[in-house]
């Protein structure tokens, strides 16, 4: 598990195809690897990757076909910068929100505008994920825990404060950039627990309602 608080910016050092999937070599910059062992997890642009080699200045990880089908790693290039976060510890300060590192889909930056000292990004999200996005709720974009400012019919709007822009790769994003999205895992579990089946073809579906929550015992009238 992760918190969505980025610890360092890394760089893709090598991308090798092996047996139909990929092996990535990531240089980790300032990320402290002293306590990282083989088999540990490191979120790389929001994707939970397992460390299989530790060459000294970074780590090597295998990327399965399943991960390739749900991320943009199939087209990642040597030299690309990536957000990095080590798996959280029980004693870790919980500064973001619960992040699993399992990408739900790929979105796209639609617009970028300056908003005072901040950056306002509008991101288009797959229709299947829009039901999980709520204003002032949490979303993970390339591994970064962010607050949704506004939700529209096609996606959502974010405000990137100067510190986040400085400590992540979000400052480099321009329209057309594809990004990894992970929605709030609590919303997914709650939907499953009360038996709501998402209709991805119906954008007007009510989804969770007060009546459904009450019927499932989550609230009392």
Domain ranges of the chain: 8-86, 105-187
Q: Categorize the per-residue pLDDT at 98 as very low, low, confident or very high, splitting at 50, 70 and 90.
A: confident
Question: What are the pLDDT digits (tens) for 48-96?
Answer: 999 999 999 999 999 999 999 999 999 999 999 999 999 987 776 766 7
CA–CA distance, 98 with 190 (Å, rounded to integer): 14
* pTM of the predicted structure, to 2 decimals: 0.84
Q: According to CATH, what is the number of the domain 8-86?
A: 2.40.30.20
Q: What are the beta bridge partners of residue 47?
A: 44
Kindly report the length of the chain. 221
CA–CA distance, 217 with 39 (Å, rounded to integer): 40
pLDDT of residue 181: 97
Distances (CA, A) of 23 to 11, 37, 110, 178, 198: 14, 18, 30, 21, 34
Q: Worst-scoring range by mean pLDDT, 40-49, 122-131, 171-180, 192-201?
A: 192-201
Q: Which of 80, 25, 87 is nearest to 57 (CA)?
A: 25
pLDDT of residue 153: 87
CA–CA distance, 168 with 7 (Å, rounded to integer): 9
Q: Categorize the per-residue pLDDT at 185 as very low, low, confident or very high, splitting at 50, 70 and 90.
A: confident
105-187 belongs to CATH 2.40.30.20 = yes
pLDDT of residue 221: 52
Average pLDDT estimate for 163-191: 93
Q: Do domains 8-86 and 105-187 have the same CATH topology?
A: yes
Question: What are the pLDDT digits (tens) for 133-160?
Answer: 999 999 999 999 999 999 998 899 999 9
């Amino acid at each position: 598990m992760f918190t969505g608080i980025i610890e360092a910016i890394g760089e893709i050092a090598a991308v090798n195809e092996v047996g139909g999937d990929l092996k990535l070599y990531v240089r980790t910059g300032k990320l402290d690897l002293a306590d990282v062992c083989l088999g540990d997890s490191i979120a790389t642009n929001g994707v939970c990757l397992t460390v299989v080699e530790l060459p000294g200045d970074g780590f090597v990880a295998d990327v399965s076909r399943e991960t390739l089908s749900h991320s943009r790693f199939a087209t990642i290039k040597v030299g690309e910068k990536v957000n990095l976060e080590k798996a959280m510890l029980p004693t870790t300060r919980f500064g973001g929100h619960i992040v699993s590192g399992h990408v739900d889909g790929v979105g796209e930056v639609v617009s970028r505008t300056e908003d005072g000292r901040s950056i306002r990004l509008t991101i288009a999200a797959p229709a299947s994920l829009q039901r999980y996005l709520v204003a002032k709720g949490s979303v993970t974009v390339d591994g970064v825990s962010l607050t949704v400012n506004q939700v529209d019919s096609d996606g959502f709007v974010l405000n990137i404060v100067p510190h986040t822009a400085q400590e992540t790769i979000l400052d480099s994003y321009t329209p057309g950039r594809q990004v990894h999205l992970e929605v709030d895992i609590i919303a997914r579990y709650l939907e499953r627990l009360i038996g709501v089946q998402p209709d991805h073809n119906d954008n007007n579906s009510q989804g969770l309602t007060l009546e459904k929550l009450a019927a499932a015992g989550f609230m009392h009238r």
